A and B are shown apart, each in its own frame.
Chain A
Amino acid sequence: MSELSGLYALWYREFKVFIRERSRIVSSLVQPLMWLVIFGTGLGSVVEISGANYQAYIFPGILVMTVLFGSLFFGLYIIMDKRVDFLKEVLVAPLSRTTIFFGKVLGGATDGAIEICILLVLGQLFFGIHFTLYSLFVSLVVIALLMVAIISLGLTFGSLMSSPEGFGLMSSFVIFPLFFLSGALFPVKNLPSWLYAFVAVNPVSYAVDALRTVILRTPSGFGGLGIDFIVIVAFALAMVGIGTQALKRMKI
């Protein structure tokens, strides 16, 4: 089964490189910790939302932020591989492009999962979060789905573009609206209706809502976990579909 061992090969590469570049793990944790510690403490000293302290309130949002930024930039590695002939070495192997795509997604998701797990432990220890088995399980599923969606989006950009600069520009155009309009940092209930409309069509909002519902045990803002799940699954499927097509059409 060369497709299966090929899938393993691609995952193996991403994982080895990730482990070896320890600076990558550290730097991926610095940003969320700054948000939690500095921003969370700063704004938390004047704000309290629905009974929780602000740091705990934004914790689910910061998890989502870590997934957004970390996973999207995973697509950048495709561009790096394009610059040398490493990508050709993969493409000339007798593997289908779908396999290559899922190998990359799997590799990226593993890297992301390690980062997230560290954050979850830190949350339990220092940021006033109390996980139960149930909330931990649901959180991990939501995060995994969101990761698959965002990595696919990143791989789509990576397939279409040939310069890191272009990738950076495109991703900041997409990633900041997705983040700020997701309710990661503030409640969306009282927003003016024109702004709320953007939040409601942003699939990332549903991930934030689901995480907040299970982690902080607050009522859902969008009519229940079920709806959150449907939106997130649909989002992931759509992104995987677009991503595989983009990789299949990628020219070298």
Chain B
Amino acid sequence: MDIINARGLTKKFDKFTAVRGIDLSIKEGEIFGLLGPNGAGKTTTLSMLSTLIPPTAGTASVNGFDVRKEPSKVRASIGFVFQDPSSDDLLTGRENLYLHALMYGVDMKDINKKMDDVLELVDLTKRQHERMRTYSGGMRRRLELARGLLHEPKVLFLDEPTLGLDPQTREHLWKYIKKLSTERKVTIIITTHYMEEADLLCDRIAIIDHGKIVVTDTPINLKKKLGGDVVRITVNKPNIKSLKSLKYIKSTEYANGILTLAVNDAGMHLQEILKKAGNVESVESRSPTLNDVFLHFTGNEIRESDESDAEGGWSERMMHSGNK
């Protein structure tokens, strides 16, 4: 049975539709990624699954509980790590954990042991008695990860867990997330707009764009769907016609002096391709990345530079709709 199941899940805010009827079936124990640009509807989807906001249409169940009919049972069985900081700066790390344990009704006699365990898991035992305002971004995230596990949820939602962290800290955090998955057997749903993160971390990925799921599969299968390797050749006036006659070339595209080919077993055929291509300046052959997959399915590239802008616009929209 699926631990999370959604059918036709839809959310409309005043004028715009954030999520347009998505279907999900997530299996117990997997790390499932929702990959998409900012404003694609990832956070809204998580908010509906965690009963923070009610869906406009469609149904969803988490751990067998309906998000509409049994929201408090859903909430008791999930953990959530939010995109923005959600701990109190004036309290220590351990105090923030204690608050959380109380709110989730963790048995009083187990609280101390469980706090020790999760602190150990994220290597924060040494800093647990310091106020959170002294924590770095990465430490704060780790504490919030630990907190999400404190009440032993079956499902853990991570909303953009590495947003705004430097690459080293990000990789460090992936290690912890993997560890949670293997040591605690918890199902993890993660939203991200980092290709690398989705690729390295997730067992399966759903690519989401404009509130719709475009495709769902394992990262390897998604890349296979593109049909082979990517060969990019910088060349003047390529002989595209003769290239197209080659069987192992799946697609050709020429723009701005760069020829992009999808090739089966590029290593074997590279010489022949270069001979036919014409006056080649440089060549690059690589396996397809998730970025190529994303481009292929959405026709858009995720641009990091849009990050802060789009994010601000999104949360403002949320706030305005909250005002009405």
Residues A86 and B87 in contact in the complex (CB < 8 Å), given A13-B99, A252-B53: yes
- Is B171 positioned at the interface, with any CB of A under 8 Å from its CB? no
Residues A88 and B105 in contact in the complex (CB < 8 Å), given A13-B88, A17-B91, A94-B72: no
The docked-state distance in angstroms from the alpha carbon of A161 to that of B52 is 18
Q: Give the chain B neighbours of A248 by CB distance below 8 A.
A: none
Q: Give the chain A neighbours of B318 by CB distance below 8 A.
A: 252
- Is B127 positioned at the interface, with any CB of A under 8 Å from its CB? no
The docked-state distance in angstroms from the alpha carbon of A8 to that of B101 is 11
Interface residues of A in 238-252 (CB under 8 A from B): 250-252
Known: A88-B80, A93-B103. 14 other contacts (CB 8 A): A2-B103, A6-B105, A8-B102, A9-B103, A13-B91, A17-B90, A86-B87, A89-B86, A92-B51, A93-B75, A94-B76, A94-B105, A162-B319, A162-B323
A88 touches B322 (CB 8 A): no
Shortest Cβ distance from A1 into B: residue: B105
A-B pairs, top 5 by smallest CB distance, nearest first, are: A2-B105, A9-B102, A85-B82, A85-B86, A94-B76
- Is B84 positioned at the interface, with any CB of A under 8 Å from its CB? yes
Classify chain B: how many residues form its interface, as a range: 20 to 34
A162 to chain B, nearest CB (A): 5
A84 touches B85 (CB 8 A): yes
Q: Please classify the interface of chain A as helix (H, G, I), strand (E, B), loop, or mixed, using the class held by over half of its residues.
A: helix
A74 to chain B, nearest CB (A): 15
- Is A227 positioned at the interface, with any CB of B under 8 Å from its CB? no
Q: Give the chain B neighbours of A17 by CB distance below 8 A.
A: 88, 90-91
The docked-state distance in angstroms from the alpha carbon of A247 to that of B158 is 26
A89 to chain B, nearest CB (A): 4
Interface residues of B in 221-275 (CB under 8 A from A): none
The docked-state distance in angstroms from the alpha carbon of A187 to that of B95 is 49
The docked-state distance in angstroms from the alpha carbon of A5 to that of B78 is 18
The docked-state distance in angstroms from the alpha carbon of A21 to that of B133 is 13
A90 touches B53 (CB 8 A): no
The docked-state distance in angstroms from the alpha carbon of A16 to that of B87 is 14
The docked-state distance in angstroms from the alpha carbon of A8 to that of B90 is 18
B102 touches A6 (CB 8 A): yes
Classify chain A: how many residues form its interface, as a range: 20 to 34
A92 touches B87 (CB 8 A): no
**Binary CB contact string for chain B from 92 to 106 against chain A (1 if under 8 A, 0 otherwise):** 000100111011110
Shortest Cβ distance from B104 into A: residue: A93
Shortest Cβ distance from B323 into A: residue: A162
Q: Give the chain A neighbours of B319 by CB distance below 8 A.
A: 162
Interface residues of A in 138-158 (CB under 8 A from B): none
A7 to chain B, nearest CB (A): 9
- Is A95 positioned at the interface, with any CB of B under 8 Å from its CB? yes
- Is A127 positioned at the interface, with any CB of B under 8 Å from its CB? no
Q: Give the chain A neighbours of B105 by CB distance below 8 A.
A: 1-2, 5-6, 94
- Is B63 positioned at the interface, with any CB of A under 8 Å from its CB? no
Shortest Cβ distance from B84 into A: residue: A85
Give the interface centre of B53, B88, B103, B321 by most chain A CB atoms within 10 Å.
Answer: B103
- Is B83 positioned at the interface, with any CB of A under 8 Å from its CB? yes
Q: Give the chain A neighbours of B53 by CB distance below 8 A.
A: 251-252
- Is A217 positioned at the interface, with any CB of B under 8 Å from its CB? no
A63 to chain B, nearest CB (A): 28
